[in-house]
Each structure stands twice: as C-alpha cells, then as structure tokens.
C-alpha cells in the first residue's frame, strides 16, 4: 500500500470548487430511471445516458471524480473510446462502485445488509489495472419502529471496515457510504441520534482494522427529518445538526466528507449543502457526490431524444455550477 499515493488521490477528489458525480446506478436502478422518462431499458440506452454527461466539455472544472458501475467502466462511447479514457483525459479520476447491493438481513425484518465482500480483492485488483483509483460501498440504515438495531449497525460497520481495508491494500481510496434513509416520519433529532451512532461505530471498526483515515472519504447523508415528518427543518437547522454530528463522530484526520443527495430534490440538495458550507466547517473539506440531483433534471429534458442533447447538457452544467457554488457557500437562489 502506497500511503502517499492514497493521500494524493483523496486530496484531489476533495479539490476546491469540485465534487464527485455518482454515475454508478446499478442496471436495475438505471433502467428504472430510463423507464420513468419513457426510455426503453437497454444496455445501449444506458450507454447513451452516461454519454449524455461524459461528453460535456469543461465538466472537469467542477468534477474531480466520477463513480462508475461495473457495466459502465467497461463501456465505450459511440466512437469506440472507453468512458474511462474520456474521464482520464479530462483529468477526472475514475471510481467504481464495488458493493453488490443491499439485501434483507436474516432475522431482522425491514433491515438491510450489503453484499459483495466475496472475491472483492480480486475485483479491486482488476479495477485498479483498468484505471479506477477510488471505490464506493453503500450501507443502508432505515429508521423506524425499534430500528435500526445495534446488530444491523454493527454488521454494516464491520463490512464497511473490511471493504475499506481491502481497498487501501489494493491502492484504491475507499469512499465509505452509510446512508441513513430519509424514508419515514422520524424527526431531525432522531436522524441525528442514529447518524451519530452509525458513524461512531463505523470509525471505531475502521480504526480496529487499521484503515488510514487520511486515505479515506466519508459519504454521508445530511442530518434531516424523514419525508413524512410533520415538521420539516430549515436548511440552517440541517446544517447545524449535520456539523454537530460530524464533530461528535468523525475523526479530524479523515480526508474529507462528501454528501449524497438521496431523497432530496435538486434544489433542496443545493440549498442544504450551501447552508452547511457557509459555516466553513473544519477540519475536513466538504463537498458533494450527487447522482439524481445532478443528472435528474437533464434526464427529464433528454428523454432519449438526441435533438434535446444541447438543452439537457446545458441543464447539467447549470446544476453542476450551482452545486459547486454551494460547495463554497456562495450559492444564492437568484442564481437559479
């Protein structure tokens, strides 16, 4: 393991003015996105969906990395050029989603455990050879009646630590993503309690298995109320609760923190990120790793019609620039 190389990659991923595009939807999720806008689900349409974004000039001004799916990292554009080469030519670091998705946790109704550790070292070696320099693993934590249980938190924390150790051993920076879902009617206070407990357990396991926090990035949910909660907090309340959680649970020497947009609209994800970054949080750099909040508005315009590509790409660039502004705490609603 070359620790200095890991530190350098992590530092680049957390560059000023930049964030990470999560273009790593599974085949099932990508098909669902396409069908929702009337596009037939096929391997070629999934390729066209990715090409919509990767071909945009100057995205490297606000993107330091792109997380790919196993299918996408092996695909070429319509001219035969590998997607991974397109990104590298722009100075964007390719990453790879390596988990196999969340599955039902045996004997723990409504709770999930993430699969994919079997054979992971060999897959990481293959991805590193292909050019991937960081990876992502997502754990799913649900808030509900009597959940999450300690068993669910402990099991996912252990697996995340194993994944992260395997990544660093392979020369790949791990992004550790424990997502506390927005589904449900829980309060922001309950979300803070659960997110704090989850992060404390994860970083305890990471330390136990000698994962170097300086070569690791946390991908976190914001501390936010459930979608069905009667009281929805302001962006300022979300910022305060989120940063309080991080200061209580995240080591100061972690390489950085990136946010997922999960469940939020593009506007909400931008406004909440801006409120957090306006406070100039220390000691970590903080940025975004959005999927739907960046891609969704463009997909709604494109809908498989290539005559709409210029408009769709213009929308992506707009959302990317606005999110980058929020990453610096300089976003204003008048910019919409």
Quick check: is 66 in a domain?
Answer: yes
Quick check: is 185 in a domain?
Answer: yes
Find the helix or strand (DSSP H, E) in which 309 lies: helix 309-327
Quick check: is 335 in a domain?
Answer: no
Q: Among 97, 179, 219, 271, which one carries the catalytic annotation?
A: 219
Q: Among 25, 111, 177, 192, which one carries the catalytic annotation?
A: 177
Quick check: is 239 in a domain?
Answer: yes
Q: Residue 281 has what pLDDT?
A: 77
Quick check: is 115 in a domain?
Answer: yes
Domain count of the fold of the chain:
1
Helix, strand and coil content of the chain, in percent to the nearest 5, comes to: 50, 15, 35
- Rounded Cα–Cα distance for residues 88 and 92 (Å): 5
- Rounded Cα–Cα distance for residues 127 and 95 (Å): 9
* Helices H / strands E in the chain, number of each: 12, 10
In the residue annotation, 177 being an active-site residue is answered as: yes
Q: Give the pLDDT of the chain (336 residues) as one tens digit per residue.
A: 689 999 999 999 999 999 999 999 999 999 999 999 999 999 999 999 999 999 999 999 999 999 999 999 999 999 999 999 999 999 999 999 999 999 999 999 999 999 999 999 999 999 999 999 999 999 999 999 999 999 999 999 999 999 999 999 999 999 999 999 999 999 999 999 999 999 999 999 999 999 999 999 999 999 999 999 999 999 999 999 999 999 999 999 999 999 999 889 999 999 999 999 999 778 999 999 999 999 999 999 999 999 999 999 999 999 999 999 999 999 999 998
Q: Residue 263 has what pLDDT?
A: 86
Q: What is the CATH number of the domain that holds 100?
A: 3.20.20.70
The dihedrals phi and psi of 256, each to the nearest 5 degrees, come to: 170, 170
Q: Are 180 and 245 in contact (CB under 8 A)?
A: no
Tokens of 221: 């949910």
Q: Residue 265 has what pLDDT?
A: 92
Return all residues near 212 (Cβ < 8 A) that are at least 6 apart. 3, 6, 168
| R_g of the chain computed on alpha carbons | 19
Burial class (CB in 10 A: 0-12, 13-18, 19+), 282: exposed
Q: Residue 83 has what pLDDT?
A: 97
In the residue annotation, 219 being an active-site residue is answered as: yes
In the chain, what is the greatest distance between 2 CA atoms, to the nearest angstrom?
Answer: 54
- Rounded Cα–Cα distance for residues 277 and 61 (Å): 19
Q: Are strands 286-290 and 256-259 parallel, antiparallel or unpaired?
A: parallel
Quick check: is 288 in a domain?
Answer: yes
Return all residues near 185 (Cβ < 8 A) that are at least 6 apart. 226, 227, 228, 229, 230
Quick check: is 43 in a domain?
Answer: yes
Quick check: is 267 in a domain?
Answer: yes
Return all residues near 39 (Cβ < 8 A) that are at least 6 apart. 45, 49, 303, 304
Residue 27 domain boundaries = 3-330
Return all residues near 117 (Cβ < 8 A) that are at least 6 apart. 159, 162, 163, 166
Three-state DSSP state, 33: helix
Q: Residue 282 has what pLDDT?
A: 84
Q: Residue 262 has what pLDDT?
A: 83
Q: Residue 305 has what pLDDT?
A: 96
**What pTM was estimated for this model as a whole?**
0.96
């Amino acid at each position: 393991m070359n620790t200095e190389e890991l530190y350098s990659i992590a530092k680049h991923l957390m560059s000023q003015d930049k964030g990470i595009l999560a273009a790593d939807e599974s085949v099932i999720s990508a098909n669902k996105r396409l069908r929702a806008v009337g596009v037939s689900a096929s391997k070629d349409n999934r390729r066209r969906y990715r090409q919509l974004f990767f071909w945009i000039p100057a995205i490297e001004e606000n993107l330091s990395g792109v997380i790919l799916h196993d299918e996408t990292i092996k695909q070429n554009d319509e001219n035969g050029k590998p997607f991974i080469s397109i990104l590298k030519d722009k100075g964007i670091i390719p990453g790879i989603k390596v988990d196999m998705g969340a599955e039902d946790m045996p004997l723990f109704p409504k709770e999930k455990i993430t699969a994919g550790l079997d054979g992971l070292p060999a897959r990481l070696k293959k991805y590193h050879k292909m050019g991937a320099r960081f990876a992502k693993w997502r754990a799913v934590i649900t808030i509900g009646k009597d959940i999450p249980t300690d068993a669910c938190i402990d099991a996912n924390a252990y697996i995340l630590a194993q994944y992260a150790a395997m990544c660093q051993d392979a020369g790949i920076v791990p992004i550790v993503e424990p997502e506390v879902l927005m589904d449900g009617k829980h309060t922001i206070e309950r979300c803070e309690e659960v997110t704090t407990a989850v992060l404390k357990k994860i970083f305890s396991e990471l330390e136990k298995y000698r994962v170097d926090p300086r070569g690791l990035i946390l991908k976190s949910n914001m501390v936010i109320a459930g979608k069905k909660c009667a009281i929805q907090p302001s962006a300022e309340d979300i910022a305060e609760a989120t940063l309080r959680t991080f200061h209580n649970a995240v080591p100061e020497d972690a390489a950085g923190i990136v946010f997922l947009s999960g469940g939020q609209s593009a506007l909400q994800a931008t406004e909440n990120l801006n409120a957090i970054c306006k406070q100039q949080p220390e000691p970590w750099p903080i940025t975004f790793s959005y999927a739907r909040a960046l891609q969704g508005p463009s997909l709604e315009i494109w809908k498989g019609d290539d005559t709409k590509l210029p408009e769709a790409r213009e929308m992506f660039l707009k959302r990317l620039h606005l999110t980058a502004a929020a990453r610096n705490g300089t976003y204003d609603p008048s910019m919409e």
